[in-house]
Structure formats: structure tokens, C-alpha cells
Amino acid sequence: MMSIPLIDLADESERQVLVDRSPEQYLGHVTTVLLEDNRTMYATYPIGHGKGQILLKRSDDGGLTWSERLPTPDNWSTSLEVPTIHRVIDKEGVKRLILFSGLYPIRMAVSEDDGATWSPLEAIGDFGGVVTMSCLDRLKNGDYMALFHDDGRFLRNKGLTERPFKVYKTISSDGGLSWSQPEAIAQHEEADLCEPGWIRSPDGGRIAVLLRENSRQFNSFAIFSADEGESWTEPTELPATLTGDRHVGKYAPDGRLFITFRDEAKSSPWMADWVAWVGSFEDIEQGRAGQYKIRLMRNHGRSERGDFIFGDCAYPGLEALPDGTFVTTTYGHWTLNEPPYIMSVRLTLAEMDAKRNDAAGGY
């Protein structure tokens, strides 16, 4: 049993920014990207749970205010899965935004003018997957590595669920324009590993990938690479404090990690809510509980499936501003008996540290 302070921000409405809401639409799983000016931010999400027309909004002030829904190519309405958006820069310095939509085949749209105009979605190869590309980052040689998972239905369009789930990597050597055939990097005989989230060590030498566990019989897992993804450790179980779905993490100016996700730890008082964890990379490596946990917003969309509670929220976007402000954005049932809508929460770790002494313990 682990005990760390629990900080509850669910009722601090002054931290919350409305991004999009429609009483007649289910607004779903969000990812965000922050451009190099540290002000321009895009948020993308579907109308519907996972699949549905992809929407796009822009903020010009670091997430304080948001545009109306932006025009997008017609075939973005055909998306079958959660969209994800990423910044890439090729080896000649050309900057692109790329947006993925998964299942079979994985498709991608490209903008080379910082999101002003976009190409239609087009297949990147004869393969598919789920929550593509849930994480994507640059390798030391200038290539990009993206990770996703599949459960047998979509990788080769078989349509049949297989066990165990597998996590895959794919590589781009041309700044995100083309992608290699997927290569499996993680699986577990008993657990269903999925929705990878990638975090580099502070010295840049190691990569940790945090993984959702979909059978709900285990905590979340992590794998590690010390050779830029060429080889990986066997999956190891994480503490309950880091157990949940769709982990996204970034560093604060003082070197601590802020990781946000949907809480699915059976021992958590906030199970099925949108939460964040604060700790260090070494905490992850050594299986420590971390410094403290934060509830960002209370989710009213819950359902019981067997012996666990499933929360319909999170899959968050996360951006770190130069002044230490974290802007994290996601969907959820934030109002009882309403469809999900899109909210941001803003905070600094200095603010959270000040609350820590008054926080209750948990787990």
C-alpha cells in the first residue's frame, strides 16, 4: 500500500477553460500541439466516441482562448478513430504538422504552413492500428519514431481480436512524410498492453513508455530503451499511482515530470476521473509512487464492467509553457447528464507544491 498526497482541483473553476461544447454533440478524445512561438496551440478531436468527423481549433494565446471550429478537408469527416496531431521537422529544417487517423489503413494529413491549410487524409501504408500515433518524437539521428497498438483486428485488416495486444513502432526518415512497416516492441503473456506514452529521461539517454493495461487485471506497465528504440526491456508493472489510460507527460522547469491520464487504479479514490501525477523519471524507473497526485476534473461518465469502473474521459493533450504553466486539455462528462465536451486546466507545480501540505493522503 502506497500513500502520497492527493490534491483535488475539481472545484477550482478559475483554472478551467472551455474549448468546445455542444449539447447535441459528443465531443471526444483530444490531442494538442504547441508551436515554437509558445503561443499558437491546436486542439483536434472527433465528433463522437473515437470515430467521427475530426474537428480542429486554434489558440493564439497559449490556450487562454480558442477560435471557432476551423475549416478542414472534406474527408476528415470519414475518420474511423481517435485523431492525433504532432509537430515534426525534417533533416533540412522543414516544419510540418501531421495528423493521424487510425484503424485500417492508418491515414495521415499534412500541413506545411503551421495549420493554415491541410491535405486530405491519405493512407501511409498497408497497415492499421488503434490510437495512432499515440506518441511520436524525434530520435537522436533526426528520424521520428511513432508508437501505437493493435489487438489483431487492424494491423493486417484481419478483423479478429487476438491476444495478447501488441505495441508497435514505425519510423520516418523524411520528416513524417512516409513511415516504415510496423515492428512489435512489447507484449505480455497475460496483460493487454496498449496506448503507449513516451517520455525521455532528463539526460536524453533513455526512453520510458507507459502503457495502459486493458484486461484490468494489472496496474499499468512500462518498458524502457537505452538505444533509441532499437531494443526494449520486458514490461514491468507500475505503481497504482500511475495506473490508468493514455499517459502523456512533460517536464516542468525544475526537472520534475507532470503526467496526465485517466485514472483506472482500483485503489484510487478518483477512479474514472481525469488526474495527473507528479514525480521524477527515476520514480518511474524504480517503481516508486511519486510525489503527489492531482484530480484535474470530476468525470460524471462512468460505467461498471465486471469488477472495474470505466471512465469515459481524458486521453489528454498536454503542453508546457515557458513560465512553467501546464495546459492540459481533454474531453469528459463534465456536467451530469450532458454529452462530453472539451475543457483545459491550467496549473504550475509551484501552485501544487503550496497545496501539498494541506492535501490528504491516499492509496
Q: What is the pLDDT of residues 142-156, one digit of tens each?
A: 999 999 999 999 999
How confident is the model over 246-270, as pLDDT tens digits?
Answer: 999 999 999 999 999 999 999 999 9
Of 137, 143, 78, 136, whose CA–CA distance to 104 is shortest? 78
Q: What pLDDT score does 306 carry?
A: 62
Greatest Cα pair distance, the chain, in angstroms, is 54
How confident is the model over 315-354, as pLDDT tens digits?
Answer: 999 999 999 999 999 999 999 999 999 999 999 999 999 9
* pLDDT level of residue 286 (50, 70, 90 thresholds): very high
Whether 163 has a pLDDT exceeding 90, the answer reads no
What is the pLDDT of the chain when averaged over all its residues?
Answer: 95
CA dihedral 97, 249, 41, 138 (to 10 degrees): -30
Residues 6 or more apart in contact with residue 53 via CB below 8 angstroms: 46, 47, 76, 77, 79
The residue ranges of every structural domain in the chain are 4-362
Whether 59 has a pLDDT exceeding 70, the answer reads yes
Q: Distance between CA atoms of 69 and 21, rounded to whole angstroms?
A: 11
Please check whether residue 262 is in contact with residue 270, taking contact to mean a CB–CB distance below 8 angstroms.
no
In Å, how far are 189, 204, 229 from 170, measured between CA atoms? 23, 20, 10
Asked if the 4-362 domain carries CATH number 2.120.10.10, the reply is: yes
Whether 362 has a pLDDT exceeding 90, the answer reads no
Alpha helix locations (H) across 241-324? Answer: 281-286
CA dihedral 45, 73, 87, 19 (to 10 degrees): -30
Q: What pLDDT score does 310 carry?
A: 73
Q: What pLDDT score does 2 carry?
A: 64
Whether 189 has a pLDDT exceeding 90, the answer reads yes
Whether 162 has a pLDDT exceeding 90, the answer reads no
Over range 16-23, report the average pLDDT: 97
pTM listed for this prediction: 0.96
> If DSSP codes are grouped into helix, strand and coil, which group holds residue 240?
helix
* pLDDT level of residue 307 (50, 70, 90 thresholds): low
How confident is the model over 90-128, as pLDDT tens digits?
Answer: 999 999 999 999 999 999 999 999 999 999 999 999 999
* pLDDT level of residue 274 (50, 70, 90 thresholds): very high
Whether 30 has a pLDDT exceeding 90, the answer reads yes
In Å, how far are 90, 112, 144, 234, 257 from 94, measured between CA atoms? 5, 8, 14, 36, 29
Q: Can you name the residues that pair with 212 across neighbouring β-strands?
A: 194
